[in-house]
Amino acid sequence: MDMITPRLNFSDKEPIYHQLYSHIKKEIQSGRILYDTKLPSKRKLSVYLNISQNTIQSAYDQLIEEGYITSIEKRGFFVCKIDFLQHLKVNPVLSEGEHPDSGKIQFDFSYHGIDIPSFPFTIWRRLMKETMNEYDNELLMPGDSLGYMRLRSAIAAYLHQSRGVNCTSNQIIISSGTEMLFQTLIQLFDKQSIYGIENPGYEKLNQLFLGNRADYRAIRIDRSGMQLTEIMRSNANILCITPAHQFPSGQIMPISRRMELLNWANEAENRYLIEDDYDSEFKYSGRPIPALQGLDHNEKVIYMGSLSKSISPTLRVSYMVLPLHLMRKYNEMLSYILCPVPMLEQKVLCSFIENGNFEKHLNKMRTIYKKKRDILVKSIHELDVGIEILGAEAGLHLLVRVPNGMSEEELISSASDMGIQTYGISKYYLDKTYQEVAPTLLLGFATIPEESITVAVSLLKKAWL
């Protein structure tokens, strides 16, 4: 055959052997190098391309391993026969919030994700290495179905100290995402139960209840949270609430409304409050209000927490604190459910908390996110165009209302034309009857670089005014 002539880029980060391997692989797949073709010897190709024979051997070895070529002793390297090699043109599937023209987006005010450069990679890598111990048999055992005991103890201590939650490790269930915890609760409660969810609220809850054939109602909220009159009208007996930082409104439930809901729950045996302590770690003014669970003396509050915002959403570790009588019921009915979080991750996380690294990381992230929040708020105020800011006291996003006569869709589209991705609040209203008249947008600031915030806001001014 003719000599192989790839375009090798010696300044590229991709290794030269991999560039050569990729080139030959594509030539075979396209049919330009046919079955049973003999490839150039390592010596000849080395001279022709001016690269070492070891580099060529590495490329050939990879092709052999994947079955594209074979080595015949004293004869050389030959292309294998590959049957049914098809190339399908697959249209890319867009993820939530992604658009076909997303390539032109410069700044994304996403409310998902974290400040990636601040993740403690060095510490996490060290703990992973220390935990991966060949003499630790627990790493290869199923473990406790509720989760690693030491991790549950560490979480119980952290929750008591930081959120005022009263529990023991035996009341905690570790799982992979709050969605899985909700599915567990649906199995635990009677089928006749009616769940009340916030309107507006977390958009996946209604999908979750629909998928599990559970009855639910969208309950209107005001600036203090779920309204008691609306709760009574709904006939719901289990409320799903986010008192620490309501999503998406960003409101913090005052103590008066918390006590009102607790009193409502205490009035009937089958009433419960599911407290999703969303974004509770990040409050930027005043003292944090303790968790609702800490105020409960009648085993009416089920507490849920997650590490998706405080550490990383990809960690997929969440936890639930069940009242004692529900924990007994869980052990009787659902003890077959195994903890889905790998033991290695649980042990690494346990060490991260026990060694004080989690507390240090949280303090660092509070400082970073507060600074980002302050820059965003200041930049919007300095526009001096009457934009109203809501829900900026806590969490990793805020809401804005722009008094320019545009609809929500027009605001998002105009911002996109300027290279800015923003998000409307309308999608979080299950019952559109109570949707705010004034178009409202949600701006997250966790993922956007600090130095980009002012630039992005100046572009929003051009888009909207």
Interval 14-23 mean pLDDT: 89
Q: What is the mean pLDDT of the chain?
A: 90
Q: What is the pLDDT of residues 128-174, one digit of tens each?
A: 999 998 788 888 888 899 999 999 999 999 999 999 999 999 999 99
Interval 379-404 mean pLDDT: 91
Read off the pLDDT band of 14 (50, 70, 90). Answer: confident
Q: What is the pLDDT of residues 397-416, one digit of tens each?
A: 999 999 888 999 999 999 99
Q: What is the pLDDT of residues 171-211, one digit of tens each?
A: 999 999 999 999 999 999 999 999 999 999 988 898 999 99
121-357 is a CATH 3.40.640.10 domain? yes
% of the chain at pLDDT higher than 90: 63
Q: Is residue 13 pLDDT above 90, yes or no?
A: no
CATH 3.40.640.10 residue window(s) in the chain: 121-357
CATH 1.10.10.10 residue window(s) in the chain: 16-79
What is the spatial distance between Cα 154 and Cα 319, in angstroms, rounded to a whole number?
Answer: 12
Asked whether 412 and 88 are in contact (CB, 8 A), the reply is no
Q: What is the pLDDT of residues 313-366, one digit of tens each?
A: 888 899 999 999 999 999 999 999 999 999 999 999 999 999 999 999 999 999
- CATH fold of the domain at 16-79: Arc Repressor Mutant, subunit A (1.10.10)
Predicted local distance difference test score (pLDDT) of residue 137: 84
Interval 78-105 mean pLDDT: 60
Predicted local distance difference test score (pLDDT) of residue 142: 81
Which option is the CATH number for 102-119+360-464: 3.40.50.2300, 3.40.50.2000, 3.90.1150.10, 3.60.21.70? 3.90.1150.10
